[in-house]
Structure 1
């Protein structure tokens, strides 16, 4: 039986759902599966099943034929060196290929971090036997800026388990996940503030970042006190907590300024929750205006409010379309045959 290890030694709270889905998919495909993770994932995985390792020595002893590496981090250097010695095939899930210096320069303070990630990604891709890209937009960037990685790449989507629970009361226009420039967070907050006297929309913010300093304005404090703005912040949330946040949302914010593909988009669709999105990254591959979400062309109050109304006015049909989009594109069970073909290609 072919042994495959899923590895994420650089902790990323947003990757928990992917790792879990890969574990389930590989097991159902008939492979002998193990996880090799940062121990920080223990607080998020409540029901770890199968073989799970938290140190390199035990992971190497599993002796996988293939190791799938998730999440950019310098920790991956020692991992790759160790598994190369035992002749494991290295497959790297390249979540965000380099998008060009112009995109890096958009975000103050990110250019150094982004450059380091770019160089690290180049090295990991060079050492990998196969590179997985998760959208056509990622393929385009990889082909343009990382041609050697592109030559060994395959297309395979972000995958998830199906954690749908129905009959939840949808109340909020939600901002879920990362909170910063790339995710259009200030634009979302500006709309929240402008909504205080202009509409009756209720809002939810769910993020592991601490955003107390962003919420000091008296309007935000009044809205929190009134229950029109609820905030969960300051710690990574479990899959169950994240899923609940999506389930009680009328729609979620994908009004991003920089992105390749979005886990928020797929998680929203899983729960039948539409998105408000910009024409950015791979969003145009999955979002259809008025079908499973609404696009905004700018960040004016009028544009965002119109998108929200467009969704609310047809929420039942749009919610059903979101579910169809999730099942067709992101549900791991519907991608198993494709992944079996990729494994055959990897092992030759």
Structure 2
């Protein structure tokens, strides 16, 4: 395993992080989830990502039990706040009240007295941003949070938060957690340049595009039984955007490149995200330990400029079937 600084902060994280969205507490039994965490630890992963909303808080509980008894200083535990965790009017968002109550719940479920990275899971348009930033800063000063980040924020939202932190003397955001893959490159235009300038690192999720970049979805064929595309609890709506026959055919054309490099399709996809110098880590999930062990082989892989060009040539302009997004791959930063 290789390690990278999280942006310009002093925190080092494993360049492959283990995430438990859609798995722990929902799709797989706890014994299987704990076996996946054990495999991640065996492979050198030290960074674990979760959120209070995953599996209605159960994902944090499972992760906490899986990590219990380990040397806390050797782990980087990341969680998030924003989405509803209750039915009350203050059980969501980024108000001081919800942030304060959410961190206490997350710490209890995770079985720890601090988290290494606490992330705003989305931007809250209903709460003054200075209130949110002050609430996060309070948690840093109390020692309950070491670093603060965001997830899926737009460049202008990140920029506003940084300006407020600087003006008020508050702790700055050090990271963003966006979706990023060969098929979803929206951060390259604005978020990455801003982050490079301001010292933020990206912890990217879905580097294999919900499994599409493994090559298991074939054009003209029904999705494999038991795959994410057939499981309404596991992101089936999200993956539909990638299932056009044209796009699936282009993904299949990546296989010769992976074969030449001695990589699986998934390893190639994960390694591709790690070639971006602004990416601090790529998050992988798993329902079986062998998936973890396979994905970790992407750590340390270097893809030269010619390979990156060939990948762009194969995929061409990537048009996602999402009414709010049309993505054309830009030159890599």
Q: TM-score range by the shorter chain?
A: 0.3 to 0.5
TM-score normalised by length of structure 1: 0.31
Rg larger in structure: 1
TM-score normalised by length of structure 2: 0.32
Normalized per residue, which structure has more helix? 1
